Chain A
């Protein structure tokens, strides 16, 4: 299993600014992912965070808007750049710990004014 923490848990930001969300796993994991979830909606995969290389982005998400880092096997960051109110959402980090069970962090609730 894997226990995942995220920082910050929530934030309120001004449009045009950027926010970096941190995701820390308590053990080395094979894969890490970033999702976005609007309240009451499903999860949308943003990207797969690859250790030591560029993240793999899903259709509709680009590196300039959502730069991702994964410097090692336990840590990743997602930056939401040049934010607009449409970026208000919950951002979730998840990981695969070698099997097929995906573990999720508690999420970061972002509000952009």
Chain B
């Protein structure tokens, strides 16, 4: 089974702090994604990466950055956390071209910024 793990299930940070969310997948997937999930808004894509050191902005990249130094690890960085970044953050990975792009999700990190 594909496993996607996230470093924390719950996180509480203060406004202005730099926040790192880590995600690791164990199936050698090319693609990795970061979403935020908010009630009534579904999943909104923040960033995705289709290869090591490659990244593309999603729908809501403002206030976030990402890092992918190794194929299995994809980090989301909040440079200066704000209260409107309080949310559930989901990491996912998927296979590449020709394999349908079915995504496998981690358990999520519920981030609260106070």
Are A and B bound to each other?
A: no
Residues of A within 8 A of B (CB): none
